[in-house]
Amino acid sequence: MIRLLALLILAPIQAAAVTLDMPGNATLVVKDVSGLDSYAMPTAAWTPTGLPVLTGTGEVRQQAWRIDAAGLTTLQLLQPLRDQLTQAGFEVLFTCTDDACGGFDFRFATPVLPAPAMHVDLGDYRFIATQRSVDGTVELLSLLASRSSSAGFIQIIRVGAANGATVAAADAPEVRGVRAEVATITGDLAQSLEDQGRFILSGLVFETGSAQLGDAIFGSLQYLADYLIANPDRTVALVGHTDFFGSLDGNIALSKRRAGSVLERLVTTYDIPRHQLDAQGMGYLSPVASNLTEEGREANRRVEVIITSTQ
């Protein structure tokens, strides 16, 4: 059974809406809207000199979809969407697959919604960048697809003029079991810190055994920096977490180095005073998902921020 999903375009109101055919088992997992923001859409493969991008400014809308079907290739996931976008007047600026995109470096240099909502297999993903201009208004739209052993995953990012439209709409239920923090990737950081005293920094994905934070611009760090600048009396602990591979002592040390990497980024890039920050590690002692799946292990590799005091 095929469900018709209305993908409303960010062009002026005269622009026709795009209708995408999605499988009946496609489920909207995460949606996020930034009223006025920018999106740096990749337009070529990653190279040691950086990632070529085309930056759009305006309303940014992101969605992650899960398709519960084993065996689908990334081409099968994206080709129908690409065809309908081109029929609607979108120009394909760039398309690539995993290694040809730049593998690990490309994946961590471009915005990706956090796991487990959006799962990206570094050896099996596909990316498409498109652009459309209507009456002088430019809209950028990218698609990223990957898969696990049991499901396919599609991320849609669109930037353009705000018109109140949704990226995609369907009557599918939201995926059960995804932590609320996954969808909390904008201004809710301040409220969560004030009300609950803690927040998961979304998008800070660490590969197994790595403590290095990528060079990408992470929106959650900008929101945390804004909060700390607005509240100079607050101190926070950055607490790293890992998946279950390796010894407990080794993972505690690794998770603390990850938290330290985030601390250094806040100090060097956002000028946050060191006295407001501390870095600690919990290793694999506090998982948020099952370590028996790749999606769960990726979710467990995270850094949380916890309010420790008000000076």
CA-based Rg of the chain, rounded to a whole angstrom? Answer: 19
* pLDDT tens for the 311 residues of the chain, in order: 334 333 333 333 345 545 566 666 788 888 888 878 889 999 999 998 889 999 998 888 898 888 887 778 999 889 888 988 898 889 999 999 999 999 888 988 888 887 777 888 888 999 999 999 877 788 899 999 998 878 899 999 998 865 655 455 443 444 433 333 333 333 468 878 888 888 888 777 655 566 777 766 777 888 898 889 988 999 999 999 888 888 899 889 999 999 999 999 999 988 999 999 999 999 999 888 888 887 788 888 889 999 998 75
In this structure, the answer to whether residues 272 and 124 fall within a common structural domain is no
In this structure, the answer to whether residues 56 and 137 fall within a common structural domain is yes
In this structure, the answer to whether residues 141 and 201 fall within a common structural domain is no
Q: How many domains does the chain have?
A: 2
Length of the chain: 311
In this structure, the answer to whether residues 116 and 196 fall within a common structural domain is no
Which CATH number covers residue 304?
3.30.1330.60
Whether 294 maps to a domain, the answer reads: yes
Whether 77 maps to a domain, the answer reads: yes
Q: Given phi > 0 = left and psi -120 to 50 = alpha, else beta, which region is 21?
A: beta
In single-letter form, the type of residue at position 281 comes to G
Q: What is the pLDDT, as a whole number, of residue 1? A: 36
- The encoded tokens of residue 65 equal 């979809």
- The encoded tokens of residue 102 equal 């730049």
Q: What is the pLDDT, as a whole number, of residue 276? A: 95
In this structure, the answer to whether residues 154 and 196 fall within a common structural domain is no
Query: In a 10 Å sphere around its CB, with 0-12 CB exposed, 13-18 middle and 19+ buried, how is residue 89 labelled?
Result: middle
Cα angle vertex 35, ends 230, 266, to 5°? 35
Which of 261, 259, 186, 257 minimizes the C-alpha distance to 224? 186
Residue in this structure with the two tokens 């697809």, named with its chain if needed: 145
Note whether 225 and 242 are within 8 A (CB).
no
In this structure, the answer to whether residues 205 and 273 fall within a common structural domain is yes
Q: Which domain holds residue 15?
A: 2-160
User: Of the candidates 160, 189, 217, which is a domain's last residue?
Assistant: 160
In this structure, the answer to whether residues 77 and 187 fall within a common structural domain is no
Q: What is the pLDDT, as a whole number, of residue 166? A: 47
Q: What is the pLDDT, as a whole number, of residue 97? A: 95
